[in-house]
A and B are shown apart, each in its own frame.
Chain A
């Protein structure tokens, strides 16, 4: 036996003190009476010769000594060694999405935690515990002998939505088993592992699971066919389900419901909603109205990528443009991702280039197109297209050397660079129908990429403004060129629009566990990611793309901030359909090696018995006191 806090034994000093106090306070009162004859005689008339009566005088002292004794021991916290009684445990708990299924009062995860808690509490003190939680990532907690600690670890384990990485958990458990073959390994899961050598699988899936339905798939063709289609599935048997579609539009939301019959377990049942009356939408939700044992997989929300990535465009066309501005405006509108504002040279000058006032620049647009017009100052946000600019700009990244007119229409040269940017911008061009007659000789000097050139002179190139924004330069006037009517030019403009408006999210619907790719535009100040549970993280804005691991079900918000302006993009992480299955069969989860039954020294340090003894002693002391008072009455 040892003590956790040996200083507590100092309390034993209280025993002699108690005895001294008792002796001092419990002196017999000396008194002289006329005769002790009757007193002495009365001894013969005492009815009960209870031996306890002989102790009655000191029973209170005995009780109080015992109280001090046990109290001191309690404070010192004795620890008894129990040879060979302790074990080493490895507890692996499945945190996959299917553990969210509620078979009865609680989820399977709750049942697993309860089973593990019972096991920990019933184990002998001094046992060693290693706790591993298996979700989309495996977390191996530090080994401990403290029951409370391991239960705290258990409470900290987060139930995920994705599939569990059992391979990783197995390799960790194997490592522990190899180091100590006597370890007892328990796996708390809802999967029925057929092979589990050296592992005791605690299956927390109830025999009779509740019904579970899920939206199996969903897709839309609202623009083309005016349809939202998909399928639902039941995991336990045939079911009559009601599916509701809600489409959020600029006007009144569109809602429709449809009854779907599911023929049997694991059989898909399709649905189709006619949405021909719906125009542009921001999002739509498909949900099953029947409640079941897992609500997370009963609905899917799909956000419109186009709606998420829409931008405002400002076109300023100089007088020399002669209609090219109108041409650009229609091209941009036709993409469906841009709201175009058109300003004439006079309007722009009146607004930003007033006489006697320093030139200013507009802001708040995603793209600025200056066609045959020099704004003198470039905006500090958004992408800039500079078309047919015959004079230099301080913020631009090129110098202008003047017009060059050829004697004949010469074919342009397309860049054969293999860079991704070049290939994306020139993607789809036939590369042969564009000619140049008059161009402006420019000399870019800052990180430029030539797309189209003539005789070494860049005709279309990309670079960056002094503010770090993307800049596209056309070194010729569209109005004085045949280029606008060429297929290459139209395709080039489309590609440049995509280049100018890098879609932050390419897809708005993912399955939980997927990784969403986030495009990060240059000059983006921050990219903040908010998970459905409110967890916030930031992406590295120095990289062109960032990755977001979708480990929760629901809507993720991607908030980009550029020059003080924030935009919010939403993507939906759907519950993984494979985790919706109420009956899952795992593969093998076995530990290789020969298990031994080596025991370890356990300890017993429960103070409950001491507390009970102390309570009984206190009670007994109180009873004795009351009895004495009654006797003396």
Chain B
């Protein structure tokens, strides 16, 4: 379990990153959260013929003077987005020498911070088994963020996680923002349904797969009896040699490409984040390169 991951030092880093983000990117996921609907924002969108009953304050009198016909000025509608972050809190995220849980919490905190800076609401959930547990919901504004973000330290990583089973029954909103799933996705359990479900709800989906360096390039050699941290009934017993390592790397490639391809096919974003990489590097480098942030 990651303890005191979100601390003063981290928040100072976040502040620094926020300045860098402001200077480098216009906002998260395309930025101003304008909708296709016409609303009451200050930004002009179009004209239409006046119809009886329309608000006469929105008649474009300049156009009337020119064309002697009543036109109504239309403005773009601006809505507050709701960013929902789902963290896989299974035991595999926090086992061994890796720092997957720590990285997951940091990424979640940073995404949440960027969201509140965009005046969006942020909800954060953890997945334990097949259930979704709220950490905080509808946080908006920096003050509230700073009050709530400390709750991330109390997240317990234990047991397994069944992503689809947890997300599908939950209220995920409709077309109102971004859904971020942070997990190692080291499971043959069904997570595709969750992605499909979120996409079906017209939400932007962002899957972050966090893996440690040892998981990407294992150092284990020789005769090994490997137990699964989530289920001791699962084990792997082999004389791990060069061929096995090669096969393992092919399996890693298969696992990462499977989720990446799945996401791309559905317009979702995907990021493979090393647990050892810094969050700044991930945000300013990887995400920018991917075009996820602008």
A-to-B contact residues, CB < 8 Å = 26-48, 53, 56-57, 628, 630-633
Complex Cα spacing A57 to B222, Å: 10
B203 within 8 A of A: no
Question: In the bound complex, do residue A38 and residue B251 qualify as a contact, i.e. CB atoms below 8 Å apart?
Answer: yes
- Sorted from nearest, which 7 A-B pairs have the closest CB atoms? A631-B241, A35-B186, A39-B236, A45-B247, A45-B250, A28-B225, A42-B247
Of chain B, the residue at the smallest CB distance from A40 is B236
Selected contact of B186 from candidates A38, A44, A47, CB within 8 Å:
A38
Question: In the bound complex, do residue B234 and residue A36 qualify as a contact, i.e. CB atoms below 8 Å apart?
Answer: yes
Question: In the bound complex, do residue A31 and residue B242 qualify as a contact, i.e. CB atoms below 8 Å apart?
Answer: no
B232 / chain A contacts, CB cutoff of 8 Å: 32
B55 within 8 A of A: no
Question: In the bound complex, do residue A28 and residue B242 qualify as a contact, i.e. CB atoms below 8 Å apart?
Answer: no
Query: Nearest Cβ in chain A — how far from B10, in angstroms?
Result: 23
Given A33-B227, A35-B228, A47-B243: A41 and B221 interface contact (C-beta under 8 Å):
no
Given A57-B239, A632-B242: A35 and B250 interface contact (C-beta under 8 Å):
no
Question: In the bound complex, do residue A30 and residue B225 qualify as a contact, i.e. CB atoms below 8 Å apart?
Answer: yes
Of chain A, the residue at the smallest CB distance from B216 is A38
Q: Which of B217-262 contact A (CB under 8 A)?
A: 220-230, 232, 234-244, 246-248, 250-252, 254-255
B220 / chain A contacts, CB cutoff of 8 Å: 31, 33
Complex Cα spacing A328 to B124, Å: 155
Q: Which of B58-112 contact A (CB under 8 A)?
A: 91-93, 95-96, 98, 100
Given A26-B223, A41-B255: A34 and B100 interface contact (C-beta under 8 Å):
yes
Question: In the bound complex, do residue B186 and residue A37 qualify as a contact, i.e. CB atoms below 8 Å apart?
Answer: yes
Question: In the bound complex, do residue B250 and residue A42 qualify as a contact, i.e. CB atoms below 8 Å apart?
Answer: yes
Question: In the bound complex, do residue B226 and residue A632 qualify as a contact, i.e. CB atoms below 8 Å apart?
Answer: no
Of chain B, the residue at the smallest CB distance from A32 is B227
Question: In the bound complex, do residue B230 and residue A35 qualify as a contact, i.e. CB atoms below 8 Å apart?
Answer: yes
Selected contact of B95 from candidates A29, A32, A42, CB within 8 Å:
A32
Complex Cα spacing A42 to B91, Å: 22
Of chain A, the residue at the smallest CB distance from B250 is A45
Query: Nearest Cβ in chain A — how far from B98, in angstroms?
Result: 7
Complex Cα spacing A631 to B250, Å: 17
Given A631-B242, A632-B221, A633-B242: A32 and B248 interface contact (C-beta under 8 Å):
no
A29 / chain B contacts, CB cutoff of 8 Å: 222-225
The total number of A-B Cβ pairs within 8 Å is: 116
A53 / chain B contacts, CB cutoff of 8 Å: 243
Complex Cα spacing A57 to B244, Å: 14
Other than the given A41-B255, A632-B241, 5 more pairs (CB < 8 A) read A32-B229, A33-B229, A34-B91, A632-B240, A633-B242
B179 within 8 A of A: no
A56 / chain B contacts, CB cutoff of 8 Å: 239
Query: Nearest Cβ in chain B — how far from A278, in angstroms?
Result: 96
Query: Nearest Cβ in chain B — how far from A35, in angstroms?
Result: 4
B224 / chain A contacts, CB cutoff of 8 Å: 28-31
Complex Cα spacing A30 to B222, Å: 11
Selected contact of A35 from candidates B187, B221, B242, B248, CB within 8 Å:
B187
Complex Cα spacing A632 to B245, Å: 9
Question: In the bound complex, do residue B239 and residue A42 qualify as a contact, i.e. CB atoms below 8 Å apart?
Answer: no
Question: In the bound complex, do residue A35 and residue B223 qualify as a contact, i.e. CB atoms below 8 Å apart?
Answer: no
B186 / chain A contacts, CB cutoff of 8 Å: 34-35, 37-38
B254 / chain A contacts, CB cutoff of 8 Å: 41, 45
Query: Nearest Cβ in chain A — how far from B56, in angstroms?
Result: 65
B120 within 8 A of A: no
Question: In the bound complex, do residue B242 and residue A38 qualify as a contact, i.e. CB atoms below 8 Å apart?
Answer: no
Interface flags for B198-224 (1: CB within 8 Å of A; 0: not) read 000000000000001001000011111
B188 within 8 A of A: yes
Complex Cα spacing A98 to B98, Å: 94
Given A42-B244, A632-B242: A34 and B95 interface contact (C-beta under 8 Å):
yes
Given A47-B243, A630-B242, A631-B242: A39 and B248 interface contact (C-beta under 8 Å):
yes
Question: In the bound complex, do residue A628 and residue B228 qualify as a contact, i.e. CB atoms below 8 Å apart?
Answer: no
Query: Nearest Cβ in chain B — how far from A116, in angstroms?
Result: 58
Question: In the bound complex, do residue A33 and residue B228 qualify as a contact, i.e. CB atoms below 8 Å apart?
Answer: yes
B176 within 8 A of A: no
* 27 chain-A/chain-B pairs, Cβ below 8 angstroms: A27-B223, A28-B237, A29-B223, A31-B226, A32-B229, A33-B228, A34-B186, A35-B228, A36-B228, A37-B188, A37-B228, A38-B248, A38-B252, A42-B247, A43-B247, A44-B251, A45-B247, A45-B248, A45-B250, A45-B251, A47-B246, A47-B247, A57-B239, A631-B242, A631-B243, A632-B222, A633-B221
Question: In the bound complex, do residue A41 and residue B225 qualify as a contact, i.e. CB atoms below 8 Å apart?
Answer: no
Complex Cα spacing A27 to B220, Å: 15
Query: Nearest Cβ in chain A — how far from B156, in angstroms?
Result: 16
B98 / chain A contacts, CB cutoff of 8 Å: 34
Most chain A CB inside 10 Å of its own CB: which residue of B92, B215, B229, B238? B238
B212 / chain A contacts, CB cutoff of 8 Å: 34
Question: In the bound complex, do residue B251 and residue A30 qualify as a contact, i.e. CB atoms below 8 Å apart?
Answer: no
A630 / chain B contacts, CB cutoff of 8 Å: 242
Selected contact of B243 from candidates A33, A36, A46, A633, CB within 8 Å:
A46
Complex Cα spacing A43 to B242, Å: 13
Query: Nearest Cβ in chain B — how far from A58, in angstroms?
Result: 10
A628 / chain B contacts, CB cutoff of 8 Å: 241
Given A32-B229, A42-B244: A37 and B187 interface contact (C-beta under 8 Å):
yes
Selected contact of A42 from candidates B184, B222, B251, CB within 8 Å:
B251
B91 / chain A contacts, CB cutoff of 8 Å: 34
Complex Cα spacing A31 to B238, Å: 12
A631 / chain B contacts, CB cutoff of 8 Å: 241-243
Query: Nearest Cβ in chain A — how far from B109, in angstroms?
Result: 22
Complex Cα spacing A32 to B235, Å: 9
B221 / chain A contacts, CB cutoff of 8 Å: 632-633
Of chain A, the residue at the smallest CB distance from B235 is A36
Given A28-B223, A31-B220, A31-B224: A36 and B247 interface contact (C-beta under 8 Å):
no
B184 / chain A contacts, CB cutoff of 8 Å: 34-35
Most chain A CB inside 10 Å of its own CB: which residue of B91, B220, B244? B244
B223 / chain A contacts, CB cutoff of 8 Å: 26-29, 57
Complex Cα spacing A47 to B245, Å: 11
Complex Cα spacing A133 to B96, Å: 87
Complex Cα spacing A30 to B235, Å: 10
Complex Cα spacing A56 to B244, Å: 13
